[in-house]
Structure 1
Amino acid sequence: MKKRVLLPVFAAFMIFAGADSHEVDAASVDQLTTSAYQYIGTPYVYGGTTTRGFDCSGFTRQVFSDLGISLPRTSGSQYGQGQSVAKGNLQAGDLVFFNTSGAGVSHVGIYIGNQKFIHSQTSRGVSVSNINESYWAKRYIGAKRVANFSTIEVAKAEVKNAQIDFSVYTSRGEVAIQLAKALNLDTSDTNSPFADVKPSAKYAGAVTALSQLGVFSGDEHGKFNPASPITRAQLAKVLVVAFDLQQQGDAPTFTDVPTSHWSSEYVATLASTGITVGKGDGTFAVNDYVTLTHLEAFINRAQQQ
């Protein structure tokens, strides 16, 4: 039986019907990456199928389920779905398979473009890897396309997310989680005001609590953009508001933060309290993305104020 899934009207009305596949109205690439990236950092758990921990096929199954697409439970069964795709013709959303056990298909991930795929691996949990890295290249078996995703937003999605290693850099969703923990906020309310934060997302309660405190506000489209990175300037504002920080005396100045810059007061507050000392070259690097390591350091210092 063919299953038809209704998704938001801005998703491209593209239909794919391969061997043993469902007929679906596919979501956009941006929806796919947003769904996948929300689970970055979730630990690997053998047999795991929830946000407490995923194994590889539990993760892929969850991401596709978020988009209304059903997948079998195991990597071997998922390999039996859809249409085979040559490695040179991979598109975002294709399932990529590997032999990590020496006994055939034993690992699966989701290709997200630019030679990257997102998966739940034993050593790092849900994370992004390069399909051409020596380890994965040697164990690559093949790929299957179980649904076509709109190519309208492919370039946008690749620029926005696929170039960013979220095992190094933090996403806005992760910032919300870490801040809520540091502030000991009640995260039981998962009905956020943002259109792109589902109640089922692991950061939903944190985002809701922080938005109620005025720490986060949406963009002009009412979105939180949980799978996007956050810049150092943006984080400066978030930290000042979240911890109600006040400037303490004169602050060091940075060559890339003139007084006319929107973040100047927030950066000055962080600098005056010693939460930041800049990059060591006289700049604050306002547009650099925040790493997970720096996020932890900033929050720890802010808690001591």
Structure 2
Amino acid sequence: MKKRWLIPVFASFMIFTSSIVDAEAATPQELITTAKQYIGVPYVWGGTTTSGFDCSGFTQKVFADLGYTINRTSQEQFSQGIPISKENLQIGDLVFFNTSGNGVSHVGIYIGSNQFIHASSSKGVSIASLDSNYWKGRYMGAKRMVDFPNSTPEVKASTVDLTIYASREKVAFRLAEGLGLDTTDTNSPFIDIKSSDRVAGAVTALNKLKIFEGNEQGRFNPNSPITRAQMAKVLVKAFNLKPTGKNTTEFRDVDKNHWAYDYIKILAQHGITIGKGNGNYGPNDYVSNTQLETFINRATK
């Protein structure tokens, strides 16, 4: 990917030593899709890889994936960019918080509708609301590092072409079917799944078995994609798969410190996955519809 360096910006009466990109920017959709692929990665203090992120390691990684270089720590990132009022937040703006009582100590990425995605010390990479009492009381400000074109707070977070990738809704349907679950109870525990929704019975049954749990806002996000790492965890829990002790090929892109290492290894031991070729599993890739059917068919044999 072409490297996009942050360039200096000069304004009337004030010179900003920080910077912003206003050309060749990625789109808001690309930003959201890139950030959401890491949902579920655990929090690790000082972490900068998919084995575990701290808050600023996560924001730095997302921007790096899009070709932008930003500073490492939350304090250093707060010294970059253009200050933005809360009322004028756009997707991609960094939002900063005081969680330590000693100035800026936490950072996340605004994704619209008063939500931001961040590496939470308690929940790992997840989505939170600026309206919650906790974050509202600790909000310090926002900075715009990149001027994402056509970025508005109301751009929807679901940006993946679901004709190609399996949605969480479809995964729920196929798992409930493959497991032969009773889906008559439609009293969904998720705030974004009404009892009248066609997937309500499936997600309720799967939630009872703790196979599918929502995010910290209590949402299921039925139209969101699912990564291959997340799929490995779901399959292992759904079919109660145990280690077999078999020696399997180690995937080059899944080291032993990766949060999904054990789940992926168990899938391989049971012959449910053989990887994507070239010794890779593709943990952060989204599950395609074809891959979903392959996983389910192998798991139910």
Structure 1 length normalisation: TM-score?
Answer: 0.57
Corresponding residue number in structure 2 for 1:63 = 62
Structure 2 unmatched runs, 5+? 11-15, 161-190, 193-213, 236-262
Corresponding residue number in structure 2 for 1:264 = none
Structure 1 unmatched runs, 5+? 7-14, 193-198, 217-237, 246-301
Quick one: distance in 2 between partners of 1:172 and 1:62? 19
Per mean C-alpha deviation after superposition, the further-off stretch among 173-182 and 79-88 is 173-182
| Aligned-residue RMSD, C-alpha | 3.5
Quick one: distance in 2 between partners of 1:190 and 1:88? 48
Q: How does 1:44-123 map to 2 (within 5 A)?
A: 44-123=43-122
Count, aligned residues: 202
Quick one: distance in 2 between partners of 1:37 and 1:147? 18
Q: Is the 8 A contact 2:113 2:154 kept in 1?
A: no
> How far apart are 1:173 and its partner, in Å?
1.4
- Return the letter of the residue paired with 1:187: G
Aligned with 1:173 (options 227, 231, 244)? 227
Q: How does 1:1-305 map to 2 (within 5 A)?
A: 5=4, 17=9, 19=16, 20-23=18-21, 24-151=23-150, 155-158=154-157, 166=215, 168-169=219-220, 171-173=225-227, 176-178=231-233, 179=235, 181=264, 183-184=267-268, 185-187=273-275, 189=277, 202-204=283-285, 207=287, 215-216=290-291, 238=292, 241-244=294-297
Corresponding residue number in structure 1 for 2:202 = none
- Return the letter of the residue paired with 1:44: Y
- 3-state SS in 2 of match to 1:72: coil
Identity rate, percent: 42
- Return the letter of the residue paired with 2:297: D
Quick one: distance in 2 between partners of 1:88 and 1:156? 16
- Return the letter of the residue paired with 1:97: F
Partner deviation per Cα, 1:203-242 (whole Å, 9 max, x = no partner): 33x85xxx6xx833xxxxxxxxxxxxxxxxxxxxx45x43
Partner deviation per Cα, 1:46-92 (whole Å, 9 max, x = no partner): 00000000000000000000111111110000000011000011000
Q: Is the 8 A contact 1:42 1:125 kept in 2?
A: yes
Structure 2 length normalisation: TM-score?
Answer: 0.58
> How far apart are 1:150 and its partner, in Å?
1.8
Corresponding residue number in structure 1 for 2:252 = none
- 3-state SS in 2 of match to 1:104: coil
Quick one: distance in 1 between partners of 2:77 and 2:69? 10
